[in-house]
Chain A
Amino acid sequence: MIKLEKLSKIFETPNGGTVMAADKVSLEVAKGEICVLLGPSGCGKTTTLKMINGLIPKTSGKIHVAGRDTDTIDPVELRRSIGYVIQQIGLFPNMTIEDNICIVPDLLGWERSKARKRAAELLDLVNLDPSIFLKRFPKELSGGQQQRVGVIRALAADPPVLLMDEPFGAIDPINRAVIQDEFLRMQTELRKTIAFVSHDIDEAIKMADKIAIFRDGKLEQFDSPDDLLARPANDFIASFLGSDRTLKRLSLLKVSDVMLSGRIRVSAQDDVATARDMMKEAGHKNIVMVGPRGRARGYLHLNDVVEASGTVEEHYQALPTTVNVDADLRTAVSRMFRHDMTWMACVDDDGFFKGFITQRAISHQLGATYRDTPTEGLT
């Protein structure tokens, strides 16, 4: 959807020198994906982004947007077909929120009533009440509200491609997280193709399908967030990602990615002896007890029941905690540490037992991304 081929930009500096702001950058953003351009300040992210909609003329190379060479499109027409969001938001203070949102639809000659209706729909989409906000001026909105309007203004004419330059950079961390989540939720429905500039690794990991890391105008690595964190191509990237990059991967992985099957289980009326045999056979030290319909109820620890007899019900212990299968591994690991557990039962939204995760399985997964999911016992 967006394709850059050996894209370069050389700026002339006032004192007669030159700056290679983009150096033969080649990358491709697939339809519906978010590609984050990441790197330290001055590495050429903004320059690369602005060449896509022609705000900065390129020195050499090719740009294709939606299959068309941008050299063959009138820049004004091109820009109207690409959503553009900047860090300073750039809402026009002299216009109402409604008129701000309707700028591109109006430029494209939409019928007035259709454009105004679209503005109201979009405000609804970001939880701003149209009856309150349509007629307000930007100065009457909080920073977070303005930023939301900045984003929906770019979406107004429903462009397939969005360019976003540090769109959430000026918002405080708490609101930023909220807006990021909100945007990702919108994106699952809208499926826009997005080039997104950021200098914040955590934001990139959270938002990106693909991350492009830049240094001094050069594209250093272009990979999925997990591949990038697992296998940084060089020392610069490794140090840019931070020494805790392995831990960052935890938030990219879901519990279900490392969960071991919950087929081995016992119910309350089963014999302790049966439970003991099942554990020995599977090589597990614990076994989960489920209720009549399969909800996780408790567990037995092998060492506690070596000599025991009777039913499981007479010996089980309550589960100190469980984790949802859809939670990320960061949540899971922090909960394990908090309860001093080496394993945890995983449940679905209704509390049904689905399987379990172990610390060893997690560290194994982080240590070896490209091996198959390890099979090992409860420890």
Chain B
Amino acid sequence: MSRSIRGADVSETMKTRAALVLGIALGAALTVAAQGYFGEIWRTYSEDIIYLTKQHVVLVLISSGLAILVGVPAGILLSRDFMRRYSETLLQVFNIGTTIPTLAILALSITLLGIGFKPAIFGLWVATLLPIVRNVFQGLRDVPAHLKEAAQGMGMTPLHILRSVELPNALYVMFAGIRTAVAVNVGTAPLAFLIGGGGLGELIFTGIDLNDMQMLLAGVIPVGLLSMLADYALAKGQFWLIPRGVNPLRP
């Protein structure tokens, strides 16, 4: 199972890179070809774009940061032996959770927290949390039993085994989960506008409402660039932060 995840992921990295290169090339070509058009958008919306992009980035950073902060320990906790009896059930619940559309989650969070920045953060946090917990759990479960046995047999304590054996060997799968989660987060963040959370969704949805193509693009293009940038940064992180001995991306 983990093998197929890894296999898929390696090709995904390549796809990301290809997409990035293509995106930049396309961007450059379009800039030259349609300088007039995009120039006009930029001139009209530059202030909004800068302001809303900042807001968008803050939404993404806070919600995914909190999701990582909570999701990783939660995944670790679920993978412990004493949780074995409950973990399958809890994960099942989580899996069902992932199938709920993010818009529905956002709508639900209004009923809890009202309208504004907070429910937006909460909704995005929930949507991001689930894939992280699942992958952290799966990554730790996939660490071969004989590694844990060898560690225990040599007299390592449970905490030491978690830190020096389990986490490093689960890191690749965990990171893959974080990458997926952040991609979901960045792509979903425009919906935050709908519950008053701000962000680039403002330009997109208002553009749709007013049937204003330029306004729509002023929101869509930065969102696209942001998600490519985020994925690129995480791919780099995956390459450099995971120790060479357990990093299938590195020889």
Contact B150 A93 (CB under 8 A): no
For this complex, 8 residue pairs linking A to B, each with C-beta atoms less than 8 Å apart, are A81-B155, A84-B153, A90-B147, A90-B151, A92-B151, A95-B164, A137-B244, A139-B245
Give the contacting residue for A86; candidates B153, B169, B243, B244; CB below 8 A.
B153
Chain A residues, Cβ within 8 Å of B164: 92, 94-95
Q: Contact mask A69-87 → B, CB, 8 Å, 1/0?
A: 0000000111111001010
Which one, A77, A88, A163, contacts B144 given CB within 8 A?
A: A88
- Is A134 at the interface (CB under 8 A from chain B)? no
Give 1 or 0 for each of B207-251: 1 = CB within 8 Å of chain A CB.
000000000000000000000000000000000000111100000
Chain B CB within 10 Å, residue with most, of A80, A88, A104, A153: A88
Q: Decide yes or no whether B157 CB sits under 8 A from chain A.
A: yes
Interface size class of A (residues with CB under 8 A): 20 to 34
B149 near A94 (CB under 8 angstroms)? no
Q: Interface residue count for B (Cβ, 8 Å)?
A: 22
A153 to B151, CA, bound (A): 12
Closest residue of chain B to A88, judged by CB?
A: B146
Contact in complex: B245, A96 (CB < 8 Å): yes
- A92 & B153 in contact (Cβ 8 Å cutoff): no
A contact residues around B156 at 8 Å (CB): 76, 103, 107
Determine whether the beta carbon of A107 is less than 8 Å from that of B154. yes
**Residue B165 at the chain A interface, CB threshold 8 Å:** yes
C-alpha spacing A76/B154, complex, angstroms:
8
B241 to chain A, nearest CB (A): 12
Please, how many angstroms separate the alpha-carbon atoms of A76 and B159 in the complex? 13
In Å, the complex CA distance between A53 and B149 comes to: 12
Q: Given the complex, which residues of B lie within 8 Å of A92, measured CB to CB?
A: 147, 150-151, 164-165, 168-169, 245
Which among B155, B157, B160, B246 is the interface contact of A93 at CB below 8 angstroms?
B246
Q: Establish whether residues A90 and B150, one from each chain, have CB atoms under 8 Å apart when the complex forms.
A: yes
A88→B169 CA distance, assembly (Å) = 16
Residues on the A chain within 8 Å of B246, using CB: 93-94
CB-CB under 8 A from A81, the residues of chain B are 155
Q: Which 3 A-B pairs rank lowest in CB-CB distance, beginning with the nearest?
A: A90-B150, A80-B155, A137-B245
Q: In this assembly, does A225 line the interface, its C-beta being within 8 Å of a C-beta of chain B?
A: no
CB-contact partner of B154 in A77, A93, A96, A104, under 8 A: A104
Q: Say whether B245 contacts A86, CB under 8 Å.
A: no
> When chains A and B are docked, how far (Å) is the Cα of A53 from the Cα of B150?
12
Is the beta-carbon distance between A94 and B154 smaller than 8 angstroms?
Answer: no
